[in-house]
Amino acid sequence: MADLKHKGVTDGIIGAFYHVYNALGYGFLEKVYENALSHELKLRGFMVAVQEPITVWYKDVAVGEYFADLLVNRCVIVELKSGVGLSTAHEAQLINYLKATGMEVGLLLNFGPKPQVKRKVFTQPPEISAKVPRESA
């Protein structure tokens, strides 16, 4: 089996997700899970940006902006949900975030009645790009 890109980071995120899910269960607003997961990841030594603004560019024109729920170690986008289940629209949203940023790995995590995890990888060259602010030294 081929090595998964950013496997150490995604494994850590998934472990933290289940830790938070087991502690809080189902029924809170997405923001509660976002705050708890961000805190848990930081406790585990990950660098976490919450609601990271990302400007989407098309042919040198800013055409939109979105906010990634979590950006972990500047290499994995995490999209959180707290609904009954995940849909193809949720998966498409994450794939579009990966396309727009040029990042390759994302996780879709649902704090629903049953916890759900989907790992998405996008490796085709994007026709659009985004500018993700870099950490200042």
Residue 136: its pLDDT value, please?
A: 45
* Triad 100, 83, 65: Cα angle to 5°: 25
Tens of pLDDT along the chain (137 residues) come to 457 899 999 999 999 999 999 999 999 999 999 999 999 999 999 999 999 887 887 888 999 998 999 999 999 999 999 999 999 999 999 998 898 888 999 999 999 999 999 999 988 664 545 555 545 44
Residue 2: its pLDDT value, please?
A: 53
CA separation for the pair 63, 89 (Å, rounded): 21
Query: What fold does the segment set 7-131 form as a domain?
Result: Trna Endonuclease; Chain: A, domain 1 (3.40.1350)
Residue 124: its pLDDT value, please?
A: 65
Q: Which amino acid is at 52?
A: E
* Crossing angle for the helix pair 7-24 and 30-43, to the nearest 10 degrees: 120
Domain map of the chain by residue range? 7-131
User: What is the full DSSP assignment across 76-101?
Assistant: EEEEEE-SS---HHHHHHHHHHHHHH
Residue 99: its pLDDT value, please?
A: 86
Residue 1: its pLDDT value, please?
A: 44
CA separation for the pair 54, 57 (Å, rounded): 10
Pairing assessment for the beta strands 105-111 and 115-121 based on DSSP bridges: antiparallel
Nearest by Cα to 93 from 111, 82, 81:
81
